[in-house]
Amino acid sequence: MCTTCGCSATAQPRFTDLSQATFTPVAEAKRTQAHPQSVSVKLEQDVLARNNSLATRNRDWLRGRNTLALNLVSSPGSGKTTLLERTIRDLSGTVPISVVEGDQETALDAARIRSAGCRVIQVNTGTGCHLEAQMLARALEELDPPANSLVLIENVGNLVCPALFDLGEQAKVVILSVTEGVEKPLKYPHMFRASSLMILNKIDLLPYVSFDINACTAHARRVNPEIEVLQVSATTGAGLEGWYSWLRARRSSQNALRQE
């Protein structure tokens, strides 16, 4: 259970494969609704330990297929779905892509991904504010991504809890739009510390907003000196070649890991 929000206590994830128009509720184990603080901390440790164990299994499963999985995280409205749509269309024919779409409700974003020409599984978390390794395991079972492919996971819009939960991805990619505050990396350090790449999106809007890219980058590297930073516009396509080069480099790294 997440002690930050307690969402795992009541979350009932549902999975929708848009290609088959199925909607399958997931059986939920019994959960205690109220606990003393000391018990809550113990439960959080137990849940995170179980999650990490499942994440390791997911990672091994993906490595066995030489499939790169990336966990895209952000606050709502950063442009994750638009970036995914553009990525799918631009890389069509070069690498098989599958998408796991996480939202509390609706399949609206999954429908957009499907229209872009990609196989997608929608995971609705209900009251839950993040995806967990068990959810990804179920989604991967439904997707059955081919070997040597790319799985892009669009997590629930939230800069807090998704930082805590390893899904089995090779890397987290945090997306921040220039319409947000430059101080986000300092306000949500755990997410930026957990991420390998920060994508600054919507740079086409820079003439119309007050956003200091240098200050934001400095804040991100203050909490994570190793974080890479890319500036893009998913709408106009500016800077996207840098994103695609980063993806190719990560795929090459995945290949090298598999050969070791």
Calpha distance 84→101 (Å, rounded): 10
CATH number, position 114: 3.40.50.300
In a domain, 6, yes or no: no
In a domain, 122, yes or no: yes
In a domain, 162, yes or no: yes
Confidence (pLDDT) at 212? 98
Rounded to two decimals, what is the model's pTM? 0.85
Q: Quick check: 13 and 124 in contact, CB under 8 A?
A: yes
Three-state DSSP state, 162: helix
Calpha distance 95→68 (Å, rounded): 11
In a domain, 62, yes or no: yes
Confidence (pLDDT) at 9? 57
What are the structure tokens assigned to 92, written together? 């069509």
In a domain, 193, yes or no: yes
In a domain, 45, yes or no: yes
Calpha distance 146→17 (Å, rounded): 16
In a domain, 90, yes or no: yes
Domain tally, the chain = 1
**Tens digit of each residue's pLDDT, the chain (260 residues):** 454 455 655 566 777 787 765 544 433 333 333 334 444 455 467 788 999 999 999 999 999 999 999 999 999 999 999 999 999 999 999 999 999 999 999 999 999 999 999 999 999 999 889 999 999 999 999 999 999 999 999 999 999 999 999 999 999 999 999 999 999 999 999 999 999 999 999 999 999 999 999 999 999 999 999 999 999 999 999 999 999 999 999 998 877 666 65
Instruction: Give 8-63 as a DSSP string.
Output: GGT---EEEETTTTEEEEPP-----S---HHHHHHHHHHHHHHHHHHHHHHHHHHH
In a domain, 141, yes or no: yes
Show the domain range for 50: 11-23+34-259
